[in-house]
Structure formats: structure tokens, C-alpha cells
Amino acid sequence: MRKGLHGSLHFTSLLRSLLTWPLQPRKILRATTHTDLVVRAKKMGVEVKIVHNASVMNAVGICGLQLYRYGETVSIPFFTDTWRPDSFYEKIRENRNLGLHTLCLLDIRVKEPTLESLCRGRKDYEPPRYMTINTAIEQLLEIAQTREESAYTEDTECVGLARIGSEDQMVVAGTMKQLLLIDFGAPLHCLVITGKTHPLEEEMLDFYRCRT
């Protein structure tokens, strides 16, 4: 969607013709793309009404870590053979230096065109991929190994959360090394790297503690 939003005459005419913008399946106004839609609509005199949705940004509170003790949220993308980004590492390091928890949002790749289809100018898509907690930890540890002074290790305490808000949600607290061995099942997954914990947070985490 983002490609068609920026600097597009088609976007302008489309927005003028819409009575309601499609709902976002996550928390609205948490990204610059969302804010850009609102700003541009208002400048064109289009009425904007926000209907707020449930979000992982508050549902993550189920694990017992207090929401006001979180630092900046990071997104972890899938590594490829030629692209292994680590820009989020500095944000994790800063959060941990301040004793704050870090919510890691894990990559979702849906309706991604294949490289071959882009070259041929046709629309063929890769199968949907949803990053697991295990993959996220593997990538985080790979990045840590390249640093002289790592912000975290395999013994760093984390919380893995899967399908939160659903009847079969799964919440497990443990070290990165322990969580690597757990099958969290179907998506969607997210990961919290814990900072300095309050005694009450520790009591809550004990209910989810990995016992292996």
C-alpha cells in the first residue's frame, strides 16, 4: 500500500472519492504512513474519523510487565542471504541501558512479489511468511556475536508471546536460550526483551516461567 500513497495523483483522486478508509488490522496512527493519510486528507478537506482497534501494543501487558516501563519498540525483519539489517540493535541497547523492556515486533511477509515476477512485470507472490520467536532470537544472537560489547546474550531474560488475545494464547518467560527450544505454534508471535523488573513484575512472570 505504501508505494501507492506517496506523491501519487491516483491517491489524491481515490481519497476524495472515499467515504470511509479501509480499517487497519492493528493499532492506528502508530506509523508515519497512517499519520500521512490523516494529514493529507485534512489538507484536502476530507473528514477523518478514527475507530481505534485492539493492538499488541497494549495486549502485551498480559505477561505482567508494566507498559510504562517499556522503551522504544523495534521491528525485526527476516534476514536474507544479502540483507541482514541490524539498525534496531542500538534501540535495544539504549532501552537496556535505561533498564527498560523492549517489545520486538516480528516480520510478517504477506503478498510479497517474487523477484522473478518483478523482473517480468507480472504479479506472482511468495507464500506468506510469519517470523517465529525462535527465528527472531537466532537473528538477535547472530547480531550480538558481531558486537564487541553485546547488549544481550543467550542468558538474557525474555518473554515470548504467541496469538495473544486468543483462546490459545501462549506466554512463556525464560532466557533466550530456553525460548529457542520451545515450539510456540501458529502465528502471530512477538518477543519482549526484559529490562530491570519490579518485584510485582517478577511475581507475574513466575506464572509463565519456563521450567526446563
- CATH topology classification for 56-206: 3.30.950
Assess whether pLDDT exceeds 60 at residue 9. Answer: no
Query: In sequence order, what are the beta bridge partners of 159?
Result: 173, 192
Lowest mean pLDDT among 107-116, 123-132, 172-181: 107-116
Confidence of residue 197 (pLDDT cuts 50, 70, 90): very high
Q: Give the model's pLDDT for residue 211.
A: 78
pLDDT, tens digit, 9 for 90 and up, residues 26-83: 556 656 667 787 888 888 887 877 777 778 888 999 999 999 999 999 999 999 889 9
Q: Give the model's pLDDT for residue 130.
A: 95
CA distance 188 to 186: 7
- Between residues 148 and 132, the one the model is more confident about: 132
**What average pLDDT does this structure show over 172-201?**
97
Domains of the chain, by residue range, sit at 2-43, 56-206
Assess whether pLDDT exceeds 60 at residue 24. Answer: no
Q: What is the 3-state secondary structure (H, E, C) of 109-155?
A: ECCCECHHHHHHCCCCECCCEECCHHHHHHHHHHHHHCCCCCCCCCC
Q: Give the model's pLDDT for residue 15.
A: 57
Mean pLDDT of the chain: 85
* Residue 13 burial (10 A CB sphere; 0-12, 13-18, 19+): exposed
**What average pLDDT does this structure show over 89-104?**
97
Nearest to 99 by CA among 76, 74, 68: 68
Q: Give the model's pLDDT for residue 95.
A: 98
